[in-house]
Amino acid sequence: MKVLIADQFSPKAIEELKAAGLEVIYDANLNGDTLTACLAEKKPAVLVVRSTKVQPPQIDAGIPELKMVVRAGSGYDTIDTAYAKEKGVAVCNTPGINATAVAELVFAHILNADRRISENVTLFRQGKWNKAAYASCPGLKGRTLGLVGFGNIGLLVANRAHAFEMEVMAYDPVVKAEVIEKTGTKYVTDLMDIAKNCDFVSIHVPGGNATKGLISKEFIAAMKDGATLINTARATVVDEEAMIEKCKAGKLFACLDVMSNEPAVKKGDFTHPLSAVENIYCTHHIGASTLQAESAIGDEAARVVMTFSKSGEILHQ
Ligand code: MLT
């Protein structure tokens, strides 16, 4: 069976697939038209991707040989699942495995926003010393973190926040109050309570229609002056325009690992409107990109592919 891997992927998992007798084609730089061309030429039975988009042109290029798309990550928002289904291509993912890596990145962003480490480093590199400018960072102890979503990642972020002696409150209409409160986290039923009361707000809900614009213009307007919004989930959850306006006005910090119109290049130069906005700190969609997470996600994706090749069973569908 032929497997095409079109994103950064664990070398160990590639070896596992090869050892199981599968033919592996690995090109982490494929995207858009180059992915379409590769699918048309190589005709794999399985395509493995992370956040590379799989849309009708790619699915059309792969069928009829393409039988399964494995998203080595959480959610399916980069894949046209309805079209895949219509064309008889199964889609599955590797849920929950990136949680620790994402929670760690959230804290990297929180600490960076509070202590302005990236600005410190940039100034130092420019040969500019300004200790006084960074003397009035508030610190984390006793400050309030609001979690929008309390699934696998939200829980791990809460645990880390408690270790920093922060107050934590969470909004999640699906998770029971007692599950949230058991962790020492305050449970709120009104999302606006998070906006009004928190110094930091971190988003941990999936993308898609159900959460589109959940962090609305009204939510952003209600956030405390000087608060920080952290989004390592999906860009669609936030009203980006309202967020940009408040950041430009110097009343909000936004730490983003996801953004609309994420640069299409996998590596190289890009232009993006957010790169010019002060008070917005973007990382390169690296939430799941620790060696530990990559290895665990790779193992699970390899298990999914090998199960399919042996028995036709589709896991995590
Ligand atoms: C995920 O959905 O788990 C990640 O965003 C995938 C990625 O690293 O591209």
To the question of domain 2-97+291-311 being in CATH 3.40.50.720, the answer is: yes
**From 78, 98, 105, mutation site for ligand 1 pocket: most ligand atoms within 8 A of C-beta:** 98
What is the mean pLDDT of the segment spanning 17-39? 97
pLDDT in tens, 78-134: 999 999 999 999 999 999 999 999 999 999 999 999 999 999 999 999 999 999 988
| pLDDT score of 281 more than 90 | yes
Give span(s): CATH 3.40.50.720, the chain: 2-97+291-311, 99-282
Q: Is 104 a catalytic residue?
A: no
The whole-number pLDDT of residue 263 equals: 87
Helix 117-125 vs helix 99-115: angle between axes, to the nearest 10 degrees?
60
> pTM to 2 decimals?
0.94
pLDDT given for residue 225 in this prediction: 97
- Catalytic residue selected from 104, 119, 245, 262: 262
Residue 135 has pLDDT above 90, yes or no: no
- Selected catalytic residue, list 115, 162, 285, 316: 285
pLDDT on residue 136: 86
Assembly ipTM: 0.92
Among protein residues, the one whose CA lies closest to atom 9 of ligand 1: 51
* CATH number of the domain located at residue range(s) 99-282 in this protein: 3.40.50.720
pLDDT digits (tens, 9 = 90+) for 221-276: 999 999 999 999 999 999 999 999 999 999 999 999 999 999 888 889 999 999 99
How far, in Å, is the centroid of ligand 1 from the Cα of 287?
7
Active site residue 165: no
Among the options 234, 240, 294, 300, which is catalytic? 234
Catalytic-residue membership of 303: no
Cα(285) to ligand 1 centroid in Å equals 7
Which is more confident, 208 or 212? 212
